[in-house]
Structure 1
């Protein structure tokens, strides 16, 4: 069951105005209002607490307000700035819920289903929410219920901080006035003129006569508040600016049609990227079915790109998992990790030296999207003299890091084992000499040539130097056996009388 938190500030516009004009804000004790022009008439757009206590109210004519409160301080309202401030507040509220919807001009809804336990319950969540808003000078009234309509009614007309138990909003909104249904002022006033002062009385009326007398919108609001019908909230999701959409007059379902529209919508987005000199690393294509279900597929590029044919070609193998159902009515595509991409000039010797976009990049992209991005990578130098820590994974075509390159005077094997393998039957003339003979995987190798030693010590700031626990010092040798095979072996630890040396194979050359 969903739970909705509604927050409403009767003086939101005043609070937002004060934050924009801290030096011009009048004291709390002075009645203050913001003025707006509607149909050529100056009216009060918002009133502070002092003005409300004196009988002022929003939507009141400015002349009537000044006649009632001669010392009323006023300033011009800024609706656009208030809307921007409310949007910023909605974005801030994602710390409490990922689904936040503005309720212009002075409220917002939060879907807190499955999130309130992080604050020890709904009451603790509301208390923290209110405290943080109050610390920023934003007084809000809050309420929690199963439906947005009930939460709105309780926040506006019930005791501040009311939390309706699951399924218990009917009893709590029954004593509230008809205006709590978010009706038009004329409809609410007409209901009250008929003697219906409480929503409980409205709920007891027959549905047919009620809808004929006050209209279907009034009945819909009542059903939404009671949870009889669903109410769709428009949750704010910061949209990516790199977005394209295609809608179809008739739904499509054939695989060839889906492949064609994938290219068309990608071409539409890539045209924008090219016009602004941008390229994307990740693209997400989404098919929207008639039943409202969205079916996304994504691809990635090794280099920022905007070639629609190349990107659409990566999408095609993934379309097999898309079930069109009764048809696809809309297709969208988004670009992520967008960054500037410079123009590329084709030279006369392009056939001999193709660019990365024409040569290796398409192959890397096909492999990465088929096998997975984490399975296609290249090794780059890392700042460490310990062999197993001297390499790191990087994107195949990413620029080289700032780390120093590998030392050509101390070559490393092409194949480095994940964990060194122990050697048996090692024979060495002296403790510091390379081995003359060793046995590995059941086969004896006689050493014809050897080079070394290269001493490698443990990095003292790292007590764990890999998956294999060996002594702190290693003496490495490059050796070649009677068949020409080359090995990288090391002796672990320093020589100690009476203790046999431990030899390991760490890699293979060639």
Structure 2
């Protein structure tokens, strides 16, 4: 809280600083810098008492929204150490550094590197490393020893944690105060006593938090961004600041990423480039592909198109970029190569179309280039949607769904490829009214007139009843669909709207699609 105010440059660097907010109709301290803490001030103290003790105290109003955004930016920056970076609101972060600490000279080296870089950005850091999130949280905030040993025996645990206050378990102030009145002030006071009386008096939370601290209960973090499937990165001893150097590094990263993809015979569907600047800013640029790609040139070309888009800001390296990371966020198996001569031309056309879609999507945005895709819907005319062309294949399952306004859909049914579809593959955007003649009012039509042409019905199947969706007010009347064939062999899909005697007194007929 106080670091954000100092970063804005509106506070004397040497003055003690505190953040305040209104709690129970009183202004109270909710954040302190190191200088204010050395004066003996504590969080929760009223502003009147703090000013009475130290009139020179500088106060700023706490802004939770801005502080949350600053914490998110710091979390993004900390993903330079590990992709598994999570928020620990309101004022902390959790990093899973398993398997990466050796890159920075061990846990202590990683802490010093992060502390030094963040201090250069005007941020004060408390850090701790433990075998679980609860232990790391306790060491960072309450212990002089910041790194827990790997082999944490019972004796080592007692030496490291038993003298820490109960607040190190993450308990609320009321519970801590209640337990202090009962003589329980340290973690060792709880660890050395029977569990049943403590649980009966203070609830299960203190014992559960103690188990988390010991590593007996499973605890995890929720990363701000999901870990990528494949990742390539480059760290620079001297930050790079020119666009040419960034483009050259991008090409090398693309080569490294393709090697990782080829090992598992996969292609990238979504790729993200992250640029970590020395001033703490992180720039992320993501591109997508309509089909899996594992060619470095294709990946670089997508980013070139994306950065050339008028909606995309130019890359600003600031004082330099010291880390570049190219991550494959979504990967899919590559389709088997088609070696048949008769299919070579079709494969080349498909690749050219895919590259065109990728370039247009990167330049204009994914939402500007769409494809029609079948979706599950109650009414036939709503059984399609426009989705980004790079989003992948259709989401529909094995049900044959017609597409309004044209198009086709492969059927996944067990009837075989030669089975006649139960519904036409082409629907009109809006059903067209027709004049129909039937033997009885609620029977199938004997003949009908559509677009001024009279058709005599030679064969007819149906009805297929589609009741109005009860969950929608505008669902409309019931429909009875028929598959009709005229004397010329032409097949149609038409329906009668409304149930006679209940929903309407005179049925209306509509043509919704044609077969073939």
TM-score band by shorter chain is: 0.3 to 0.5
Q: Which has the larger radius of gyration?
A: 1
TM-score, structure 2 normalization: 0.45
TM-score, structure 1 normalization: 0.46
